[in-house]
């Protein structure tokens, strides 16, 4: 193998640039040429390729977002679109790929491998931490720290006005952000997609008049919880408790931005380094992750098809500490 490509795909995550940097510098150290593919799968179809050198990734380890950009690409979802991408890659001499992204990005890489035999190593770049085959994903630590910082500020005003604040965090299908932010933010309630019946506990909490009128509360809500997010939950609480002073804050895409934490930079660097080594060993159609401190390879089929679960012990602990 003499030339590889690297691209970022799906939602951006803090640490993607650190990961690109590690891929480029590890590849060059091992005598490989590296091509940056801009805008993910759309860039493959458009032949939006740039040769990358060591200096190309200087001064980016601290930057959020992705210098390679990311974009949706409906054309790549079709066999014809993937065939066009494969032809462009082969014409450019690209023999292997490093994909930094989430579940959908892995699915695209798997299809490209199955149909056109282009070996690809996936790296888990998503703030949701929901990819099977790794304990942590790139961007997760930064996202939860951003959300906790916001909750600490909200807590100050909640305390001053004896208000209930519903704080919505990202997590359409998984509650990893919600549970971590809820615990570290001292929330009185945590609503996540994996847990049902949380409303009964909140009602039990607010049915005590003194809690409703004299104390402030922070409730963390994942956007994909059973009630449909913080706004829907706000309406439920106001209908039941008209006297309750409720405010809702939706943190939204602020969780995706910002300079990555040291932990995310180290994780991204380690995974990027290992991805290049995996390609050089002849691996393909696999994702690199870290489990219990060790580097592991997981097939794309398992990374996509198997579900990573929120630790039930954390959910139980959160309920105990919220009382």
Structure tokens, 76: 């790549």
- Catalytic member of 12, 128, 225, 264: 128
Assigned token pair, 86: 């494969």
Between the alpha carbon of residue 126 and those of residues 16, 109, 152, 214, 320, the distances in Å are 9, 16, 24, 39, 29
CB 165 within 8 A of CB 247: yes
For 286-303, letters b (16+ CB in 10 Å) and e give bbbbbeeeeeebbbbeeb
Selection from 94, 101, 119 nearest residue 34 by Cα: 94
Q: Report which of 71, 192, 190, 187 is spatially closest to residue 128, judged by C-alpha positions.
A: 192
In this structure, how many other beta carbons lie within 10 angstroms of the beta carbon of residue 318?
Answer: 21
Give the separation between CA 87 and CA 130, rounded to whole angstroms.
32
Q: What are phi and psi of 318, to 5 degrees?
A: -60, -40
Residue at token pair 């003194």: 210
Task: DSSP letter for 255, please.
Answer: G
Q: Are strands 189-191 and 286-291 parallel, antiparallel or unpaired?
A: unpaired
156 tagged catalytic: no
Pick the closest to residue 147 from 297, 252, 47, 236 (CA basis): 252
Neighbours of 80 (CB within 10 A): 9
Give the residue from 10, 18, 28 showing the smallest Cα distance to 268: 18
State the catalytic residues. 128
């Amino acid at each position: 193998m003499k030339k590889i490509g690297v691209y970022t795909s799906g939602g951006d995550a803090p640490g993607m640039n650190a990961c690109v940097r590690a891929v480029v510098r590890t590849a060059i150290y091992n005598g490989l040429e590296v091509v940056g593919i801009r805008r993910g799968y759309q860039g493959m179809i458009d032949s939006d390729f740039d040769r990358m050198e060591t200096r190309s990734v200087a001064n980016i380890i601290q930057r959020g977002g992705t210098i390679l950009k990311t974009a949706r690409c409906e054309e790549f979802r079709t066999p014809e679109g993937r065939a066009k991408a494969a032809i462009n890659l082969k014409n450019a001499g690209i023999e292997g790929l490093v994909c930094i992204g989430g579940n959908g990005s892995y699915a695209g890489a798997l299809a490209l491998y199955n149909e056109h035999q282009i070996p690809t190593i996936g790296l888990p770049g998503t703030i949701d931490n929901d990819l099977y085959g790794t304990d942590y994903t790139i961007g997760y630590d930064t996202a939860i720290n951003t959300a906790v910082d916001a909750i600490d500020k909200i807590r100050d005003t909640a305390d001053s006005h004896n208000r209930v604040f519903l704080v919505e965090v990202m997590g359409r299908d998984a509650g990893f952000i919600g549970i971590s932010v809820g615990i570290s933010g001292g929330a009185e309630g945590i609503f996540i997609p994996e847990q049902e019946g949380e409303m009964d506990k909140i009602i039990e909490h607010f049915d005590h008049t003194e809690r409703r009128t004299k104390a402030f509360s922070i409730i963390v809500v994942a956007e994909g919880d059973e009630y449909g997010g913080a706004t829907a939950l706000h309406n439920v609480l106001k209908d039941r408790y008209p006297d309750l002073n409720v405010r809702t804050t939706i943190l939204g895409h602020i969780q995706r931005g910002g300079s990555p934490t040291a932990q995310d930079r180290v994780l991204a660097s380690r995974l990027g380094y290992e991805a290049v080594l995996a390609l050089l060993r002849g691996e393909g159609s696999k994702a690199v992750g870290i489990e219990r401190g060790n580097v592991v390879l997981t097939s794309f089929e398992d990374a996509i098809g198997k579900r990573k679960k929120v630790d039930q012990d954390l959910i139980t602990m959160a309920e105990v500490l919220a009382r």
